[in-house]
Amino acid sequence: MAAMPEISFTEYAERRQRVLKHIGADSVAIINASTLKTRNHDAEYIFRQDSDFYYLTGFNEPEAVAVLIPNRAEGEYVLFCRERDPAAEQWTGYRAGIEGAKAKYGANESYPISQLAEIMPKLLANKDCVYYRMGMDWIFDKQVFTWLNGVRAQVRAGIKAPTTFKMLDELVHEMRLIKSEAELAVMRHAAQIAAQAHTRAMQVCQTDMYEYEVEAVIAHEFRRHGMETAYTSIVGGGKNGCILHYIENRDPLNAGDLLLIDAGAEYQCYASDITRTFPVNGKFSPAQKALYQVVLDAQYAAINTVRPDALWDDVHQAAVSVLVDGLINLGLLTEAKDKILADSLYRKFYMHRTGHWLGLDVHDVGAYKVEGEWRRLQAGMVLTVEPGLYIPAEEGIDPKWWHIGIRIEDDVLVTESGCEVLTAGVVKEISAIESLMAQGKGI
Ligand code: GLY
Ligand code: MN
Ligand code: MN
């Protein structure tokens, strides 16, 4: 089997070095892992690691805290985690343990998570500044302040308590915004499998199937490649396609309707995010075709703006301009283009923006504005480009358009010379969709 792309432990160590260098000698950075969340009674949701924690550690267990301490003689990276415990592991699975945290994950020192309250005040002693993600988790906030009080209690022994708390978010999120080659390899893989899943959905879709049956085909493609769903798949036929985050996925699919599928695979915690819209019975009606082509043209126009130095908002404005032209041509908007743009009248049919950053989070971190101005794109950023049109059933709108919901979404990497569409593996041209569906192919 071919080697699967992955992020090396050296790369995780380099990321921590960048944080250590940035925060400086008198500071400490604390990053907590995700906790298990109850689904019902004593059953939990599948564990998903906190993205910042994972980005800096590669450690995929709950009940862990990473502490970065510049210039510390005993080592700059301390990882608190669960101890090995054969009896507990028989019930809930393997643990790296204290030795694994050091040997495999590169911690200089590792302690049982049960010793956090005892050891943290010592790590914070005589430090000036604490970097952490305030307000993300109230229980953790309370713990941090308890440790602070633990240091304050020692002032008469000549120990100085931290005086400054800073947010760690911006530093780590700016790092996460620019993807490394290894991250891109992982993201390409997630994108490719997601594209395969959408292709299979088009191949299996038949009138009278249920939305969840198509969802199951997508989930099967993800799981057979060891991937998770990056977010709950949206599989909406007919008017359900007009609900932006429709996740019930339980209605039958009717001939003559479109099916909108927004589904992405997650690989090693990195997301892909694809939307395709296609006719349930394999043939676009003239009205569907006309609207679909407008959205597709808007998407091409938006993707065409993606290059270094373009403004984040250029991508959205390019899509809006083409969508508005199309809505005017089709008689769905009757005002002058200037007025439609100035008063955002298009929002009746296009109420979301054209994309978002993509990475460890599907709506990934990183600022969209810098010093009050739209951010300029840079090589290594990954964004989605996802224009859509959603036509309500309303008086004043020709019924031939009612309930048509269309979105087309791809994942796009900014390169030195322009861009690369990571999700090009699934078709989106009308003729290509129709011929793929005509070929069909069972479940
Ligand atoms: N799948 C959510 C989105 O496209 O933003
Ligand atoms: Mn998206
Ligand atoms: Mn999406």
C-beta neighbour count of 432 within 10 angstroms: 12
Determine the average pLDDT of the residues in 299-318.
Answer: 98
Q: Is the CB of 410 under 6 A from ligand 1?
A: no
- Asked which of 134, 150, 175 is the last residue of a domain, the reply is 175
Q: Where are the beta strands (DSSP E) in 43-171?
A: 43-44, 65-68, 77-81, 109-112, 129-132, 164-167
pLDDT of 416 > 90? The answer is yes
Q: pLDDT tens digits, residue range 364-396?
A: 999 999 999 999 999 999 999 999 999 999 999
Q: Judge whether 4 lies within some domain.
A: no
Q: Which of 412, 359, 398, 33 is nearest to 180 (CA)?
A: 359
Report which bound ligand comes closest to the CA of 355. 2
Do the domain assignments include residue 184? yes
| Residue 411 CB less than 6 A away from ligand 1 | no
Q: How many domains does the chain have?
A: 2
Indicate which residue's Cα is closest to atom 3 of ligand 1: 273
Indicate whether residue 352 lines ligand 1 (CB < 6 A): no
Is residue 149 domain-shared with residue 184, that is, in the same domain?
no
Length reported for the chain: 443
Domain co-membership, 230 together with 125: no
Mean pLDDT, residues 211-226 taken together: 98
On whether both 231 and 277 belong to a single domain, the answer is yes
pLDDT band at 3 (very low <50, low <70, confident <90, very high): confident
Mind listing the pLDDT tens digit for each residue in 363-372?
A: 999 999 999 9
Instruction: Note the pLDDT tens digit of each residue in 263-280.
Output: 999 999 999 999 999 999
Amino acid at 142: K
Q: Which domain holds residue 189?
A: 178-439
Look at residues 125, 147, 175 and tell me which one is the last residue of a structural domain. Answer: 175
Flag whether pLDDT at 154 surpasses 80: yes
Does one domain contain both 251 and 237? yes
* Inter-residue contact 236 to 246 (CB < 8 Å): yes
Quickly state the pLDDT bin for 46 (edges 50, 70, 90): very high
Last residue of a domain, one of 136, 151, 175: 175
Residue numbers annotated as active site: 42, 245, 262, 273, 352, 356, 363, 386, 390, 407, 409
The mean pLDDT of 407-417, rounded to a whole number, is 99
What mean pLDDT comes out for the span 278-300?
98
Give Cβ neighbours of residue 301 (< 8 Å, ≥ 6 apart): 318, 319, 321, 322
Provide the percentage of residues in the chain whose pLDDT is more than 90. 98
Predicted confidence band of residue 440 (pLDDT cuts 50, 70, 90): confident
Q: How far is the CA of 358 from the centre of ligand 1 (A)?
A: 10
Q: Residue 169: CB partners within 8 Å, gap ≥ 6?
A: 52, 133, 365
Q: How far is the CA of 120 from the centre of ligand 2 (A)?
A: 39
Among candidates 330, 254, 236, which has minimal Cα distance to 287?
330
Q: What is the mean pLDDT of the segment spanning 127-135? A: 96
273 and 388, same domain (yes or no): yes
Higher pLDDT, 406 or 3: 406
Paired tokens of 4: 């699967």
386 and 242 fall within a common domain = yes
The H-or-E segment that residue 261 falls in is strand 258-263
Tokens found for residue 364: 């990934």
State phi, psi for 283 to the nearest 5 degrees. -135, 120
Average pLDDT, the chain: 97
Provide CB contacts within 8 A for 81, sequence distance 6+.
59, 61, 63, 64, 95, 96, 97, 98, 101, 110, 112, 113
Which ligand 1 atom sits nearest the alpha carbon of residue 273? 1
> In this model, does residue 442 exceed pLDDT 80?
no
Beta pairing partners, 17: none
Quick one: pLDDT at residue 263?
A: 99
In this structure, are 161 and 188 located in the same domain? no
Strands 410-414 and 382-385: antiparallel
Q: What is the pLDDT of residue 257?
A: 98
116 lies in the same domain as 208: no
Q: Residue 392 maps to which CATH number? A: 3.90.230.10
Q: Does residue 44 carry a pLDDT above 70?
A: yes
> For residue 407, what are the contacts with CB-CB under 8 A and spacing of at least 6?
241, 260, 262, 275, 277, 295, 386, 387, 388
For residue 1, being part of any structural domain is answered with no
- Cα separation of 294 and 299, whole Å? 9
Q: What is the pLDDT of residue 34?
A: 97
Report, as an integer, the average pLDDT of 151-165: 94
